[in-house]
Amino acid sequence: MEPIDVTDRLGRWSAGRGPLYALLAARLRGLIDDGELAPGALLPPDRTLAVSLSVGRSTVVAAYGLLQDEGRIVRRQGSGTRVAGTPRDDPPDTTSEPMFLDLLEPRSDVISLACAAPDRPPVELAESYAAMLPALAATTNDIGYYPAGHPALREAVAEYYRGRGLPTAADQILVTTGGQQALSLLSTAYLRPGDRVLLETPTYPGALEAFRAEAAVVSGLPPGLDGFANAIRDQRPALAYVIPTYQNPTGSVLSTLTRRRLAETSAAAGIPLIDDEVLAELGFPGRETPPPLATFADTVITVGSLSKSVWGGLRVGWIRAASPVIGTLARLRAVHDLGGNLPAQLAAAELLPRLDILLHSQAAARERRHDHLRAELARRLPDWVVPPVEGGQTLWIRLPRGDGASFAQAALRQRVSTLAGSGLDPTGGSERYLRLHFLHPPEILTAAVDRLAEAWRTYRPPVTPGTAPPPLAL
């Protein structure tokens, strides 16, 4: 039995006050008591866990010692460290993705650079809620259950695509509770255990979680799905997924020619291709929004959302696809929640016709914050490699040494949360990267960089087995 990987499940364990061993023990205690670490589960050896958390081995030994004294774990020579109790066959199916744990465990003293979304609703959203109130007040003979979405919003989304040059009917739109639910519904509809998904690496961690929840096998290609045609022939995937505009996390944008090639190749092979357009409208001033992939093949499935472009708390997203696909997804969604929040959908229907004006007014501020974060990183951490982007919400940063996962733990101890590249790349090719978002006001970004600089000053990359430590400076 292999030890379970508890590192990601630990979340913000080190952000509290007190000795590290006590904080680690407290977090492990909570995971055990909540059933996240099942009875009989084999925990990592002292040294292995210490390396992954970027702490001394004595910290892990002391934490395990506390839990052993409490009877929560059992340590035996030759058989390792296990959670006390009789093993069971049905461990809980929950996420350990750091991005989600960042949401599940908010702390007011931690600056989050992990989960990227606007943190305050714009005045236009409040105005849209006010504008829809008469229609809501006049509603009669309507229980408010719309598994496919309220007709007014479906039509508004269809008109949004028609305005971008993509003919769309309302029955080609399914309204979802944000883009994440859209990905989960599509995963449930198209994937079975063992099916293969082709996607870019690195990519959006929420998509990885949605595919893995269906026990799919993810296969990574470079951003833009370079080598897509050969991979289809060799791997016979059930689904493909791409973020063609301001790719999360790299910020890259695909050319029109590449978009056409991907759409036509997937259509010819009969492979459903998900075009994640959640970030597509977030270009900086002067950048044109590229066409959706469905412009080149109507078999493409398009995902959109207002949670990244308007406000994280506006949980309104959608799927654009062929009408029969939308019908299937609506029946699937009805089993889950019967339909989304109706007032939010009516407000979104009011807001969508003004979305381009809202985004245009915000683009300059996003660019200034992008520039500010890069300038602060260059000032305090000049050896970090921080390429600029032309839109989106995140920077993809290469560390000069060490790895993102262990540094993320060190940063958390300085009360700033980041996303390590390893969680965004199933191929293992992004170990030395971090993803940081630039949506905070400049003063908060400056404070975050100050904390990152202090974490970097004291950071000592873990020495993995078989790797010699760096020579001493003479």
> Alpha-carbon distance 112 to 100, whole Å?
12
Candidates 396, 386, 438; CA nearest to 421 is 396
Query: 352-360, long-range: CB within 8 Å, 24+ apart, which pairs?
Result: 352/153, 352/156, 352/157, 352/159, 352/160, 353/156, 353/159, 354/124, 354/128, 355/160, 355/281, 355/306, 355/309, 355/310, 356/281, 358/122, 358/124, 358/310, 359/281, 359/282, 359/309, 360/285
Candidates 244, 309, 301; CA nearest to 274 is 301
Contact 111/440 with Cβ under 8 angstroms?
yes
pLDDT per residue over 136-162, tens digit each? 999 898 898 999 999 999 999 999 999
At residue 106, does pLDDT exceed 70? no
User: Quick one: average pLDDT of 423-444?
Assistant: 95
User: Quick one: average pLDDT of 274-288?
Assistant: 96
- pLDDT at position 449, please? 98
At residue 470, does pLDDT exceed 90? no
pLDDT per residue over 95-105, tens digit each? 545 555 555 56
User: Quick one: average pLDDT of 313-321?
Assistant: 96
> Alpha-carbon distance 18 to 360, whole Å?
46
Percentage of the chain beyond pLDDT 90 is: 69
- pLDDT at position 97, please? 54
- pLDDT at position 10, please? 81
CB within 8 Å of 9: residues ≥ 6 apart:
31, 36, 37, 96, 101
Q: Which comes out higher in pLDDT, residue 1 or 279?
A: 279
Take residue 167 and report the two structure tokens written for it: 């003919």
- pLDDT at position 269, please? 95
- pLDDT at position 223, please? 86
Candidates 410, 174, 413, 401; CA nearest to 305 is 174
Cis peptide before 249 (omega within 30 of 0): yes
Percentage of the chain beyond pLDDT 70 is: 92
Contact 285/370 with Cβ under 8 angstroms?
no
- pLDDT at position 395, please? 98
pLDDT class of 474 with cuts at 50, 70, 90: very low
Report the range of poorest mean pLDDT among 12-26, 123-137, 266-280, 293-307. 12-26
Supply the Cα-derived Rg of the chain in whole angstroms: 23
pLDDT per residue over 233-280, tens digit each? 999 999 999 999 999 999 999 999 999 999 999 999 999 999 999 999
- pLDDT at position 469, please? 47
Candidates 148, 182, 131, 178; CA nearest to 346 is 131
Instruction: Write down the mean pLDDT value for the chain.
Output: 90
pLDDT class of 473 with cuts at 50, 70, 90: very low
- pLDDT at position 254, please? 96
pLDDT per residue over 50-76, tens digit each? 888 888 889 999 999 999 988 899 988
pLDDT per residue over 375-433, tens digit each? 999 999 999 999 999 999 999 999 999 999 999 989 999 999 999 999 999 888 999 99
pLDDT per residue over 342-382, tens digit each? 999 999 999 999 999 999 999 999 999 999 999 999 999 99
